[in-house]
A = this chain, B = another copy of it.
């Protein structure tokens, strides 16, 4: 049997302690299956005296994560500190410099500094494993980096933030407002006190940056992503989507667009029959459309156990083989993702307008759409006030909503049409525009 793989873990929160427990619990099977013991030999955290419910006897303690990262008696440095900069970044750099493989759950670090870190790691001949950084326990990194190499990937899309999916699911199922559901998510610990990072789409964008790199060979770059969150989604939208055969999900989408890759995070209408449409609550899902196979992977996107499972899977890989290129393509070959150009996005649109109730309104709306060569697949005039329960009764005083579904057009055309409609004064409030994702 090969010598043990010696693990140093920096950060002993829920995930770090979970990794320690999982490696202890599964040590015999892991040794049998990988041909090597995988042993935690050193750890680092802020408070040595905190009770973490994991056995650290015989494990060396470091107060300083940097010192652990440089320790010559570890083989793999596991970074579970978090944060895109500061000590997490310094420690990963130090571990690479010391010739250690790295495993991390830190999406922010890799989304912002992935190219530089991957170059450094590949120059040193070490790996950075990050299955835990995207969609928790779902093995999407491995799938894109290894299993689908026969495919030219055309699109990767995913529900990558459990908080948002929980809120959208509750809103729809129970007729509650965004605010009530956010409140409940916070009480259940699914959302932070400051929910911005989740509900405004930034967390999804970090994960999407990593998926795009794996799928298309572009440099991870959050700046290249068009990002919208879910705060604007109302019950009226969720109900209209349902009637029209769709669900509304916060999706991260990376899609090939000629030589470029279109990267966007926004509330999206997806056909109800898509597997991804049926994913509810905090569960995550990722769909990959390749030229040979289309896959959907569904599973837990967060939580100590799921994330620890991903870290341990990575450690078992490092125990058995030299790592591949960090993002699946040598870092020097990664090309810039380019700037977001959402104006050039092509697809169908859902447009909900609070139309004022006077003659000529419908004609004005239709004329401005036609002027932009936008063809309408359907027009739905909602009855006023459709209280099905919950917060739905709130909508009883809204102006008459008109819902339009367009055939494929461009973002630019939609924006011009809406600007013209707004100037006409036939709508009472800013319109809601939701992009539709189709096969």
A273 CB contacts on chain B under 8 angstroms: 280
Q: How far is the CA of A35 from the CA of B125 in the complex (A)?
A: 13
Q: Say yes or no: A29-B312 contact (C-beta < 8 A), given A22-B292, A139-B143.
A: no
Q: How far is the CA of A99 from the CA of B357 in the complex (A)?
A: 80
Question: Chain B nearest CB: distance from A101 CB in Å?
Answer: 14
Which residues A259-278 have CB closer than 8 A to chain B? 273, 275, 278
B299 near A333: Cβ-Cβ < 8 Å:
no
**CB within 8 A of A312: which of B30, B150, B325?**
B150
Interface size on A, residues (CB 8 A): 60
**CB within 8 A of A151: which of B149, B309, B317, B321?**
B309
Q: How far is the CA of A316 from the CA of B278 in the complex (A)?
A: 33
**CB within 8 A of A325: which of B33, B131, B146?**
B33
Selecting from A65-73, A300-308, A341-349, A409-417, the interface stretch reads A300-308
A26 at the interface (CB under 8 A from B): yes
Contact with B along A346-376 (1 / 0, CB 8 A): 0000000000000000000000000000000
Q: Say yes or no: A297-B297 contact (C-beta < 8 A), given A147-B313, A149-B316, A152-B26.
A: yes
A146 near B292: Cβ-Cβ < 8 Å:
no
A131 near B147: Cβ-Cβ < 8 Å:
yes
Q: How far is the CA of A322 from the CA of B2 in the complex (A)?
A: 14
Return the chain B residue nearest A23 by Cβ.
Answer: B150
A220 at the interface (CB under 8 A from B): no
Question: Chain B nearest CB: distance from A132 CB in Å?
Answer: 11
